[in-house]
Each structure stands twice: as structure tokens, then as C-alpha cells.
Structure 1
């Protein structure tokens, strides 16, 4: 948005456009921002830091929401009555409150009821348990701003992780080893397993809870539990990409591979021993779970062992890409041709192809 007149006309109709693209520069423009705020008062949150510090501009904007401020010549951010009204409508403006009001319990409670993270502006009250509980119940990560003693308070930390599992990050070392608290966190966010103690990362029930919430949590489990079939399969049900975090030992177990294929992990064959693709009984089971005309699965199979091409549907046996991959792998083709022979020689012998021997007369 380059033309100022165009921008003004646009924000008068839809101030939301200032949220997107390269509109950041216009958030410093008083007239543009005022027109946007007239159209949508909540857009006051978009104004630049410089405009937030402009008392006359802020008074003009706030008068749109609070007609009773019309007689004021400037805003007194130390006036408790005025700030209480402003914070209830625009909580983020708590940051503009005077130092005295930032440590006024009533004002702080009003602020953190809307956004717990506003506790960061009230450092003198970070040890107030009532305020801390209100803050973390609103925004779990507000646990970051409570005092060290409260980060070790079970009630405060439990409330925080029940609101946001990631809040476990800010708990004391002692409470990161508290099974009840970690379990509550994992029910909200499986990846919070990252912040649990090393001992609890070995707890089978906790890891199961984590991967059922987010399959990617398998990456954070102990090596032993990455070999646990039930845990790995539960992770895959949530996120097929979790397979990449499973123990390599599991890929030598045909029954495990079949279970993963049944869950839709078509690329699992690339991790399996090559001889598995030559096992007729195994491959027939693979294709009993998936249509043998499934090109994606068949492509993975022939990359491991070209002989797997014989299990493909009649149509796929003629597929040029599949035939070429089978040929590259181990020279397997269903029907000989000079063209395919040349391709095999060039692929395996660095583009060398000697051609046919000429018959001697």
C-alpha cells in the first residue's frame, strides 16, 4: 500500500487491512490509525510504540470508547478510576500505567484476568499467590513471571500446566519431576515432555499420554521407550512422521512393519531389510492392507528390491517409472529390452554402455 489516500479510503471501510502485509509503516501514521480505530476500536492494539507514547493521540482514540473522557486535556495514567476503565477494555494498556498503579492489587488483578502475561509489568506483586493463580489460570505461560517460590508451589504450577502444558518449562526443577504435574501438562501438550525430568521421560504411562496427544513427542522419549511397539504405534496414529523417531531395531520386525503399513506408513519399507521385499508371504500381506495398484507403496518396494515389481497390479507392471526404479535397484525387469538394458548399464556403470557385439562374418 503506497498511496496514502488509497490507504485512508481503505481503512475507513476495513481497518483490519493494517494487520497484514507491509502495513507496519502506516501504524505510525496518526491519521491512518485514527481512521482505522474509528472503524474498529480494537485496532488500538496495532498502534506503534511511538503513538502509544503520544498522550494527545491516545486521548483522542480513547475518547471514542469512553465519552466521559471528552473533557480531559490529557490522560493521567496514574488515575486509578480512569485506568481501571481503560484496562478492562484494553488490557494491554496496563503497560502505560504509573509505577504505583502497576503494583496496585486491584489494577493488576483486572489486567491479569484478561491477559496473564501482563504480570510481567507488576514485578512487585509477582510473589502474590492470589494474583499468580489468576494470571496462570488465564494464561499458563504467565508462570514465567511469578516469583521463584511460586514456581515451586504445586497449586500455582498445576493451574498453569492445566491451562497450557508448555508452562511446565517455567516450573521449578523439583516440580518438573512431579508425576502429577507432568501428567497434567502432557494431557494439554504432548511436546511438554521436553521439560520433564530425565527420569519421567522413561515413565511408560507418561510417554503414552504424550504421544497420544502429539505423536512428535516420541522424539523426546527415552531410547528404551522408542523401542516399545505400543508407544510407537500410538505415536504413528497421531502423526505418521513419528515413525522416524522409532528405534531402528523395530524395522527388523515384520509384524511391526505390517502394523505400521496398516496405519498408512507407506514409506516404512525403505527402512526395512532389503530381503523383506523378496519375501512373497510378507509382500502379499503388505498388499492385503493396501491395493497392489498403489503406486506410492509399490515405488517404495521396488527401490528396496526390484523383484517386488512382480507383486504389482498388471497396470503398474508396465509403469515406466516403476520399471526404471526396479531396474536401477537390481536389474529386475519383467520383459527384456535393449533400451532398459542400456539404462541399467548407464546407471550402474557410470554412463558406460558398450552396445551390442557385432556378428563376425
Structure 2
């Protein structure tokens, strides 16, 4: 009989949980076998033997696969706070199937939203008003913003903190805040990636863009081509944050004079040729400078291996040798 064959039942139940209900009693009562089944399809749990629906580890395995499996756990387990806490830690969405009193429990709800921010939608109303819970949910998933209490979105400081934790939440921010330059300036100062969700007018605002880049160098990629081709602006951006380097416009990599300016700006050894002291602190500083220099030049070489070869001999970084070995250095990088 196929329904006594563990391999057959396992494969069938993986597709349709009810298949476990047609298996032999021996298989349905086999803890190891049922655990294997519910790990693949948590919705097979209601068709397991009753004592296994009261087995903590079996049920948790099912919940991890499918959050709704929690409602098929025994009433005894569902009434245990530590069990529900363990369930939402494995699958935050299972909060939707937890007993009502658990949705009022701060620790349980916080654990749920830290696993899956959208679980905030299943929390009790007073916890949807809780700043700590809402911010934790938003940090995990920006879509949780829709479940946070409306009054929180009237709180400027709450919104700014939400943006700091997850820039995407700016999409859910009230229009009047997103249109407010002072608000946007502070938002990108806290999280430069928020520039990605700024309006077109703000993407042409040099002060705001530079503030974003200072916070997060990768923000340069969100700026329009005109600004990214503006040499003076790009140099100002690199002066704020050298991590903007990979996002230069392609044509700037072909501009030898500009590359020399970049070399002077981003390489610590190009910025200063002063004689170093021999103090222990200065030696540590030199070591850090060398590390930074290697990283920055390695990034240049990764993007454009020829860029290092275009630097004049008198500007070659000491870490990379003289003109005679620049090719070998670039290859090494």
C-alpha cells in the first residue's frame, strides 16, 4: 500500500498537507516522520496524530514553514506564553494565529515584528501606537508603516527616526513632510539612502544632495546625469565622502586631469607628504592611512584598471610605487 510508504507520503504531503491524513496510523504517529513532513509543509500538522499536535518541537517546525500552522496546535500549547513567544521568533506572521491575549503582550509582539515587520498588523491597537514596537517593525520591513497608528505619522521626530532605520519608509511618509525641504534635509542627514525616494526637485538641490552623500556615499547614484558629470560638484561630493567614488559618470573616468584631482583628494598620501614622526600613535595613524589608501585605490582599479596608470609619476601613491612599476601594481590590485 502506497500510504504506508514513507517516501511516497512525504512527497505527497509536501505538495498537499491533507495527504498525511491518508497515511497509515503508524506514520501519522511517528514523531520523526511527521517532523520531516511539517518541515516541508506546515499545513500537514492538522493531519498528524493528536499527541504530536501537542509536541512543542513538532509544532514549531510546522510554524516555521507556515505561520497558520499555529492555529492547529493543541489548546494547551497555544495557551503557553513561552511557546507562542518561540513561535513568533521563528515566524513573526504566526502572531495572526496566536490567542488574543498574546497580541497584547509587548514582548511577544516585539519578537514577532523583529522577525517580520508586517506582523505589526496583527498586534493589539495599543501596541500599534507604541513607538518602540512600530519602529522595530519598520526597521525590519518598511511595509509595516501601514499598520503603525496614524497619530505616529504626525510626529516629525518619529518619522525621521523611522527613515533613519529604513529609508524606504519615506514612501509612506505624509506628502507635506516629503515636500518640506527642512524635513528632507534632516532625513538625508540621518540616512543618505533616503535620497533615493526624494522628489525630483530635491535631486537638483546641491546642498541636500551633498548632505546625503556625506551620510552615505552611495547616494551619488541617485543623482541625475547632469550633476554627476559636473566636475566641481563631484569633487565636492568626494570631499564629503570618498565612498561616492564608484558612482562617478563614465566620462569622468576618461578625463585625465579630473582623475589627478580625484587622486589628490581621496588618497591620504597624496593629500600630505609631510614627514612622519616615530611616535607609537603616529605609526598607528600611518598604518590606518595606508589601509585606507589601499582600499580607495583598489576601488579605483576595480572600476577602471587604467585609471591608476594615468596618474603622473609625481602623484603616484607611495603604496603603489613609481611609474616603472605602476602596471605591476595595478595588476596586483
- Name the TM-score, length of structure 2 as normaliser: 0.53
CA–CA separation in structure 1 for the residues paired with 2:81 and 2:175: 37
1:53 aligns with 2:49: no
Query: Bigger radius of gyration, 1 or 2?
Result: 1
Tell me: CA distance 1:46–1:60, structure 2 relative to 1, closer, same or farther (3 Å). farther
Partner of 1:38: 32
Q: Which runs of 5+ in 1 are unaligned?
A: 12-17, 67-84, 302-307, 318-361
1:245 aligns with 2:222: yes
Partner of 2:188: 207
Partner of 2:129: 154
Q: 1:45-83, CA deviations, whole angstroms, 9 ceiling, x for partnerless residues?
A: 43453x3232xx3336457x48xxxxxxxxxxxxxxxxx
Q: 1:92-128, CA deviations, whole angstroms, 9 ceiling, x for partnerless residues?
A: 5431269xx69x99568963574153342369x4xx7
Displacement of 1:180 in angstroms is: 3.1
1:181 aligns with 2:154: no
- Residue of structure 2 aligned with 1:231, choices 207, 212, 228: 212
CA–CA separation in structure 1 for the residues paired with 2:324 and 2:245: 24
CA–CA separation in structure 2 for the residues paired with 1:7 and 1:105: 31
Displacement of 1:283 in angstroms is: 3.2
Partner of 1:120: 96
Matches within 5 A, 1:68-83: none
Displacement of 1:87 in angstroms is: 7.0
* Contact 2:31-2:52 within 8 A present in 1 as well: yes
* Contact 2:13-2:37 within 8 A present in 1 as well: no
Matches within 5 A, 1:345-360: none
Displacement of 1:90 in angstroms is: 7.0
CA–CA separation in structure 1 for the residues paired with 2:231 and 2:189: 23
Tell me: CA distance 1:225–1:60, structure 2 relative to 1, closer, same or farther (3 Å). same
* Contact 1:176-1:197 within 8 A present in 2 as well: yes
Tell me: CA distance 1:225–1:234, structure 2 relative to 1, closer, same or farther (3 Å). farther
Displacement of 1:291 in angstroms is: 5.7
CA–CA separation in structure 2 for the residues paired with 1:88 and 1:47: 12
Matches within 5 A, 1:72-111: 93-96=69-72, 106=79, 111=84
| Structure with the larger RCO, 1 or 2 (CA within 8 Å, 6+ apart) | 2
* Contact 1:176-1:196 within 8 A present in 2 as well: yes
* Contact 2:195-2:222 within 8 A present in 1 as well: yes
Bigger helix fraction: 2
CA–CA separation in structure 2 for the residues paired with 1:161 and 1:210: 15
Partner of 1:297: 304
Tell me: CA distance 1:39–1:256, structure 2 relative to 1, closer, same or farther (3 Å). farther
* Contact 2:171-2:197 within 8 A present in 1 as well: yes
Superposed CA RMSD in Å reads: 5.3
Q: 1:198-235, CA deviations, whole angstroms, 9 ceiling, x for partnerless residues?
A: 33344222332233xxx3x3211344543320212422
CA–CA separation in structure 2 for the residues paired with 1:25 and 1:62: 20
Displacement of 1:270 in angstroms is: 1.9
* Contact 1:266-1:297 within 8 A present in 2 as well: no
CA–CA separation in structure 2 for the residues paired with 1:233 and 1:47: 47
CA–CA separation in structure 2 for the residues paired with 1:188 and 1:33: 48
Displacement of 1:269 in angstroms is: 3.3
Displacement of 1:179 in angstroms is: 2.2
* Contact 1:143-1:160 within 8 A present in 2 as well: yes
- Paired residues, what number? 254
Q: Which runs of 5+ in 2 are unaligned?
A: 268-295, 314-322, 328-333
Tell me: CA distance 1:94–1:231, structure 2 relative to 1, closer, same or farther (3 Å). same
- Name the TM-score, length of structure 1 as normaliser: 0.50
